[in-house]
């Protein structure tokens, strides 16, 4: 364990050694308090306050793992322990990184482990823990790499927060009673086992690389690496009719009519289009079906349902209603932390995008309507207008026009692998300028919002047919449940939030800066964090760690073409990106400064700029030299 920390400086090593005696006293107190909560502790008889738990690397207490005089881990396996796991007392162990209570007799619900946010591994397999696990149970455990919960009696959903842990490599949940669908993981798990649960639905694409026996013993799972969902479980048309009849018989007449009508629409949807469209369509239909059931108040027909009405916020758009949307053939565009988005082609040929948001209950109905009307009044060529929305307590639907060229994220990180050319420098500059103008407009029009955008990232920048950027998902921070916002929204990743727990009027500028760095480096902040692993670097500090002379060769995306005679301007934009991501918000540009600097940028260097700022690098790098440079290895 100590080996991993070989990079610690000598100074810090000395510092830690000096600290040994005092911190062990408090470690000892914490552990003894922890022991109080356990039952059948015969195995821990040598836990005695007259000896400190650790002397440097040596553990004096059974089951304790030490590092430099600190309690680094607890390995209390096969000890017949029961009682409760008192996480509160462990929380004071500042160096605790690994915990194992495998193969004991602990019962009850999962302890509140997210308090131990420094943990790298947590092993709770082979106990009798039970009950549902809250969806945020692992939120913020950013160092967690290994989690074993196998062979307990857990029920309910696999907690969504697990799917967002950036460093998770190994997950074992086999032998429980987890049900419903597996969440889409945002990392590549090296090892995972979901077998012997009651999981169902399609295995998310991010887990398709795992072996079949990672999923065995769940009757209703389908999709790679198991059988295809369509061939395995899709009921025949006849079956649908039978089900509909049976269901209908059980319900009141009006209700039955409604349902049959809806099913017929779904059936026709399922029977058109190519196979892959068909799959996507089926999934989208299933999802939208849920919306529909909500809007017609489920199976309880006597209850007065909420009106299933779309509220239009603009006059300059053709009207349609919720039923038109549900009738439309739909295709899933993506699903994020908030919910999914679909492309729907209306009968009249119009294509719209429907985004479905959950966790958006911060506003009551009236306040929500008010806020939507405010967003509906926005009008700017770089802001994608909201067309209509749908309000239900449990979820909201947002309807916008479909934007032809997809998201900036797709172009930077994916599409060019599918035959689309990578974005060249003039296009990237145009995008940066458009995004900045759109953002400045939001600042001007939504002055009461601390973060007028709040969720600015490359997947929320769409590109129209002429690659003019359009911002989406703006102005939503006040509507989203605070906890969810803090966990997932871009504004809350800014240093002023992670370090000082506040967001400011400059927070969106930080997001803009990160976006600029992403556009120039072609590197994705989230996956970059993953690669950076142990080191706490983000994209900005990585760029800062490079010598300025190396920027053009090592930092700038080598797939960005048409950079000839533009090096000077590219460097200026990179510097603006860094100034916008300045960790100290006081020193950071504000929106006005950022917008002014960005407006000044040009597509090509004027001779003056280029030679005066770069002549000292030698021959001012001819464009040929430049393209040689930028093909240099990209490994960092």
Interface with ligand NAG by CB under 6 A: which residues?
A: 40, 42-43, 48, 50, 78-80, 82, 103, 105, 174, 193, 195-196, 211, 213-214
Residue 466, CA distances (Å) to 325, 406, 520, 523, 607 in order: 28, 12, 20, 23, 29
Rounded to the nearest whole angstrom, what is the least distance from the CB of residue 77 to ligand NAG in the complex?
7
Nearer to ligand NAG by Cβ, of 42 and 616: the residue is 42
Rounded to the nearest whole angstrom, what is the least distance from the CB of residue 80 to ligand NAG in the complex?
2
Tokens representing 535 are: 């080191």
Tokens representing 633 are: 């290895």
Q: Which candidate, 281, 291, 391, places its Cα nearest to that of 345?
A: 281
| Alpha helix stretches (DSSP H) within 37-101 | 87-90
Rounded Cα distance between 480 and 483, Å, is 8
Nearer to ligand NAG by Cβ, of 39 and 617: the residue is 39
Rounded to the nearest whole angstrom, what is the least distance from the CB of residue 154 to ligand NAG in the complex?
15
Rounded to the nearest whole angstrom, what is the least distance from the CB of residue 356 to ligand NAG in the complex?
33
Tokens representing 499 are: 């370090």
Residue 248 DSSP label = H
| Alpha helix stretches (DSSP H) within 391-538 | 408-413, 425-445, 482-488, 495-500, 507-521, 525-532
Nearer to ligand NAG by Cβ, of 209 and 533: the residue is 209
Q: How far is residue 181 CA from its own chain's centroid?
A: 17
Tokens representing 323 are: 């039923």
Residue 76 DSSP label = -
CA distance from start to end of the chain: 25
DSSP H or E run through 329: strand 329-335
Nearer to ligand NAG by Cβ, of 153 and 286: the residue is 153
Nearer to ligand NAG by Cβ, of 12 and 78: the residue is 78
Q: Are 96 and 76 in contact (CB under 8 A)?
A: no
Residue 339, CA distances (Å) to 204, 342, 347, 356 in order: 14, 10, 25, 5
The interaxial angle of helices 567-580 and 425-445, nearest 10 deg, is 30
Question: DSSP per residue over 357-374, as a string?
Answer: E-S--SS-HHHHHHHHHH
Nearer to ligand NAG by Cβ, of 105 and 422: the residue is 105
* Count of other CB atoms within 10 angstroms of residue 563: 22
Rounded to the nearest whole angstrom, what is the least distance from the CB of residue 212 to ligand NAG in the complex?
8
Question: Minimal CB distance to ligand NAG: which residue?
Answer: 80
Nearer to ligand NAG by Cβ, of 43 and 601: the residue is 43
Nearer to ligand NAG by Cβ, of 145 and 437: the residue is 145
* Count of other CB atoms within 10 angstroms of residue 39: 11
Rounded to the nearest whole angstrom, what is the least distance from the CB of residue 135 to ligand NAG in the complex?
24
Nearer to ligand NAG by Cβ, of 103 and 541: the residue is 103
Q: Are 216 and 173 in contact (CB under 8 A)?
A: no
Rounded to the nearest whole angstrom, what is the least distance from the CB of residue 87 to ligand NAG in the complex?
21
Rounded to the nearest whole angstrom, what is the least distance from the CB of residue 74 to ligand NAG in the complex?
16
Tokens representing 24 are: 């062990």
Rounded to the nearest whole angstrom, what is the least distance from the CB of residue 81 to ligand NAG in the complex?
7
Rounded to the nearest whole angstrom, what is the least distance from the CB of residue 41 to ligand NAG in the complex?
8
Rounded Cα distance between 248 and 263, Å, is 11
Nearer to ligand NAG by Cβ, of 115 and 211: the residue is 211
């Amino acid at each position: 364990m100590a080996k991993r920390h070989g990079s610690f400086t000598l100074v810090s090593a000395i510092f830690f050694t000096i600290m040994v005696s005092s911190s062990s006293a408090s470690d000892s107190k914490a552990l003894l308090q922890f022991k109080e909560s356990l039952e059948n502790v015969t195995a821990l008889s040598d836990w005695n306050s007259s000896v400190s738990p650790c002397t440097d690397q040596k553990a004096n207490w059974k089951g304790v793992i030490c590092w430099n005089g600190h309690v680094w881990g607890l390995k209390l396996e096969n000890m017949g322990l029961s009682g409760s796991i008192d996480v509160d007392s462990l929380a004071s162990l500042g160096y605790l990184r690994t915990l194992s209570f495998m193969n004991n007799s602990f019962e009850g619900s999962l302890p509140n482990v997210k308090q131990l946010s420094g943990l790298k591994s947590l092993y709770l397999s082979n106990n009798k823990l039970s009950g549902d696990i809250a969806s945020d149970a692992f939120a913020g455990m950013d160092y967690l790499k290994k989690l074993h919960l196998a062979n307990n009696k857990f029920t309910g959903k696999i907690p969504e927060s697990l799917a967002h842990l950036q460093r998770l490599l190994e997950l074992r949940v086999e032998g429980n009673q987890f049900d419903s669908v597996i969440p889409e993981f945002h990392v590549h798990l090296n090892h995972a086992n979901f077998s012997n649960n009651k999981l169902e639905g399609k295995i998310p694409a991010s887990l398709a690389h795992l072996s079949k026996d990672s999923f065995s013993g769940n009757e209703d799972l389908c999709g790679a690496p198991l059988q295809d969902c369509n061939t395995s479980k899709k009921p025949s048309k006849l079956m649908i009719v039978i089900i509909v009849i049976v269901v209908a018989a059980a319900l009141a007449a009006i209700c039955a009519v409604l349902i049959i009508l809806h099913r017929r629409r779904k059936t026709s949807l399922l029977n058109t289009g190519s196979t892959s469209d068909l799959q996507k369509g089926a999934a989208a239909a299933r999802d939208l079906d849920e919306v529909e059931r909500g809007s017609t108040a489920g199976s309880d027909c006597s209850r007065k349902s909420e009106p299933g009405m779309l509220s239009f916020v603009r006059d300059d758009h053709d009207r349609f209603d919720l039923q038109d949307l549900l009738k439309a053939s739909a295709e899933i565009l993506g699903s994020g932390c908030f919910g999914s988005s679909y492309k729907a082609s209306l009968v009249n040929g119009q294509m719209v995008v429907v985004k479905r948001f959950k966790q958006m209950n911060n506003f009551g109905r009236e306040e929500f309507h008010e806020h939507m009307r405010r967003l509906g009044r926005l009008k700017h060529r770089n802001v994608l207008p909201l067309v209509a929305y749908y309000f239900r307590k449990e979820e909201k639907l947002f309807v916008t026009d479909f934007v032809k060229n997809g998201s900036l994220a797709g172009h930077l990180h994916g599409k060019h692998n599918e035959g689309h050319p990578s974005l060249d420098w003039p296009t990237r500059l145009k995008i940066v300028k458009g995004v900045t103008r759109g953002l400045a407009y939001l600042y001007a029009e939504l002055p009461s919002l601390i973060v007028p955008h709040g969720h600015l990232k490359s997947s929320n920048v769409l590109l129209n047919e002429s690659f003019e950027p359009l911002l989406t998902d703006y102005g939503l921070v006040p509507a989203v449940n605070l906890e969810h916002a803090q966990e997932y929204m871009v504004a809350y990743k800014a240093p002023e939030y992670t370090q000082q727990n506040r967001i400011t009027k400059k927070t969106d500028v930080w997001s803009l800066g990160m976006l600029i760095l992403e556009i120039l480096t072609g590197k994705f902040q989230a996956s970059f964090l993953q690669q950076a692993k142990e080191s706490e670097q983000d994209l900005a500090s990585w760029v800062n760690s490079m010598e300025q002379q190396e920027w053009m060769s090592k930092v700038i995306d080598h797939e960005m073409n048409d950079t000839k005679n533009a090096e000077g301007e590219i460097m200026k934009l990179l510097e603006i990106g860094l100034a916008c991501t300045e960790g100290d918000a006081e020193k950071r540009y504000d929106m006005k400064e950022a917008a002014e600097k960005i407006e000044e940028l040009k597509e090509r260097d004027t001779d003056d700029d280029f030679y005066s700022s770069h002549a000292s690098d030698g021959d001012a790098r001819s464009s040929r030299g430049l393209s040689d440079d930028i093909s240099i290895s990209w490994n960092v």
